Structure 1
Amino acid sequence: MEFQKGEIEGVIIRPLKKHIDERGWLCELFRQDEIEETIMPVMSYISQTLPGIVRGPHEHKEQTDYFAFIGPGNFKIYLWDNRRDSSTYGNRQIIYAGEDNPAVIIVPPGVVHAYKNVSTKPGLVFNSPNKLYAGWGRKEQVDEVRWENKENSPFIID
């Protein structure tokens, strides 16, 4: 399958504002009054990605990811709409976010996603998905389709 450039239905991009003062800065990542109940986070984690490294591509069948890219570091985020019932099926979207452009990117189930650290320094990414990793007590199958090691994957990172 060949993907064309375009926005993807259901992906939400929300700019983040850093409130800066003499102590440093503060940035709200999410507020309950600004998130639909169906995508309300149930856990969160932080990861560090080294310069030039890619995480993904992968997708979830049921999970919505709530990524916050605020720095340090800048990222190139790749999204592919792999949902046959979506009005934007077959679209590919690229977003730049991080230290220079703080943003939340909400990725619905069925949208394949990956990100690459395009900085010269390690970058941090926060995620607050709406499903528990491996379910309650880590006793369920992980909701993840990993494309990065599949031969002839249509999800190409440049």
Structure 2
Amino acid sequence: MIESQIPGVTVTPLSQWSDARGWLIELFREDGLAEDFRPVMGYVSMTLPGVARGPHEHEHQTDGFAFISGKFDLYLWENRPGHPERHEKHSVGEGEKVFITVPPGVVHAYKNVGAGEGLVLNFPDKLYAGWGKKEPVDEIRHENDEASRFQL
């Protein structure tokens, strides 16, 4: 089982139930979430083999990622003032289906290290670009900064 030493990062294993019809995975329940985390939207992204998303971070948003398909390396860096510097790498997805919450100030990225397409669902607690998509996007992108300490 995956565990994170970064405060505020939570990891919940996902169980898959299968029968003759197919399978079902319960992604999250309100009674299983931290009291200060309530998703307000959801989306799914497909990442091609060998491709990474991130690293980036949010000032105000907590992400709730569900890794259910494909094989990914997940990277986390503690970047909040007053917290000790920490970097973690976890294998998630096939064989390790998890729901992971990543709080503001924790830089994160994931890379599809599998042979096929990988699906990741995200349930953030803030609307992308705010209500009606009329506000600045809460995202600090590090992926195009070659001098960044956040490297895969």
Name the TM-score class by shorter chain: over 0.9
- Aligned: 1:84 with 2:81: yes
Residue 37 (structure 1) shift:
3.5
Following TM superposition, by how much is the alpha carbon of 1:36 offset from its aligned partner in structure 2, in angstroms? Answer: 2.4
Post-superposition shift, 1:145?
0.2
Q: Give the TM-score of the pair, scaled to structure 2.
A: 0.95
Map 1:1-158; keep pairs closer than 5 Å.
7-71=5-69, 73-86=70-83, 89-157=84-152
Spell out, residue by residue over 1:23-61, the C-alpha distance to the aligned partner (whole angstroms, 9 max, x if none): 111001111111124211000000000000000000000
Query: 1: CA distance between counterparts of 2:146 and 2:89?
Result: 23
Aligned-residue identity in percent: 56
Distance 1:10 1:83 in 2: 11
Distance 1:121 1:145 in 2: 29
Instruction: Judge conservation of contact 1:80–1:90 (CA < 8 Å) in 2.
Output: yes
Once the 2 structures are TM-superposed, how far is the Cα of residue 7 of structure 1 from its aligned partner? 2.1
The question of whether the paired residues in 2 share the 8 Å contact of 1:42 and 1:131 is answered with: yes
> What is the rounded CA distance, in whole Å, between the counterparts of 2:91 and 2:5 in structure 1?
14
Query: Could you list the runs of 5+ residues in structure 2 that have no partner in the other structure?
Result: none
Question: Gapped runs of 5+ residues in structure 1?
Answer: 1-5
Shift of 1:120: 0.5
* Structure 1 consecutive aligned stretches of length 4 or more whose deviation exceeds 2 Å: none
Q: Which amino acid aligns with 2:36?
A: T
For 2:103 and 2:34, locate their aligned partners in 1 and report how far apart those are by CA, in whole Å.
Answer: 12
User: Is contact 1:38-1:130 (8 Å) kept?
Assistant: no
Contact 1:63 1:109 in 2 (8 A): yes
Superposition deviation, residue 151 in structure 1 = 3.3
- 1:85, CA displacement in angstroms? 2.1
